[in-house]
Amino acid sequence: MNRILLRTVTPMTLAFIASFSAQSTLAVTDNEDSIVTLQFNETINMVRVGPLTITDPATGTNATGIEDFCVRGTGFSTFAITFDSTNGSATSEFILSDGTTDVPYQVGYDNSLSGSFTSVSEGVPLTGQAIQNFGPCVGFPDNARFQVTILNMDWENSMVLSGNNYTDTLMLTVESE
């Protein structure tokens, strides 16, 4: 009887022990890495650049006007801004015209609403402007401005004063750097 019990218990015990061994020696693993990235595509926008009208400047002074607008973006920290005059060129700079008489003017840019204006040249990017605010302009206040100056000697003469309206289209372009 001992033989029968031993014959029955031994195979069952060995099968039980073998099942634990097989699980621990047959287990396999694998792994992969995932690179997690937070990415911002470069976007830049400029809004609220409106018409600038300088009306009846005071005699003996430069005629000036300032226009505030918003520049914002994501994915970069600096940008360039370029001012182009439809009537101007690389040699004549910014020009107002009534179709007959041309009146030169100057443009300055301030990358805030309270700083000093930096003179710009027609068609030449003003680089290295720090982005003041990230994201879109929608719902946010203006944060930049430009100034147009017409020197007294250029507007206060009989040729210009006998005219009516002198206009130019000033195109502003912003580009991320």
| pLDDT tens sequence across 58-105 | 999 999 999 999 999 999 999 999 999 999 987 779 999 999 999 999
The predicted pLDDT at position 79 comes to 97
d(CA 27, CA 66): 75
- What 8-state DSSP symbol labels residue 110? E
**Residues 6+ away with beta carbon under 8 Å from 103:** 95, 96, 97, 150, 154, 155, 160, 166
**Residue 128 in domain:** yes
**For 73-77, 126-130, 159-163, which range has the lowest pLDDT when averaged over its residues?**
159-163
The predicted pLDDT at position 33 comes to 95
Q: Looking at this protein, which amino acid is placed at residue 96?
A: L
**Residue 10 in domain:** no
**Residue 107 in domain:** yes
**Residue 18 in domain:** no
Q: What is the pTM of this model?
A: 0.78
The predicted pLDDT at position 59 comes to 94
**Residue 53 in domain:** yes
Domain range for 79 is 43-176
Q: Which two tokens stand for residue 31?
A: 């792994």
What CATH number is attached to the domain comprising 54?
A: 2.60.40
Which residue, 57, 69, 92, 94, is CA-closest to 168?
A: 94
**Residue 14 in domain:** no
Are the CB atoms for 161 and 103 separated by under 8 Å? no
C-alpha distances out from residue 65 to 11, 15, 85, Å: 101, 95, 16
pLDDT band at 12 (very low <50, low <70, confident <90, very high): low
Q: Please say if the pLDDT value at position 17 is more than 70.
A: no
Which runs of consecutive H residues, i.e. helices, occur in 119-173?
A: 152-155, 158-161
pLDDT band at 164 (very low <50, low <70, confident <90, very high): confident
**Residue 31 in domain:** no
Q: Please say if the pLDDT value at position 121 is more than 80.
A: yes
Buried residues in 85-94 as b, exposed as e (16+ CB within 10 A) = bebbeeeebb
Residue in the block written with tokens 């030169």: 104
Domain count, the chain: 1
Q: Please say if the pLDDT value at position 153 is more than 90.
A: yes
**Residue 34 in domain:** no
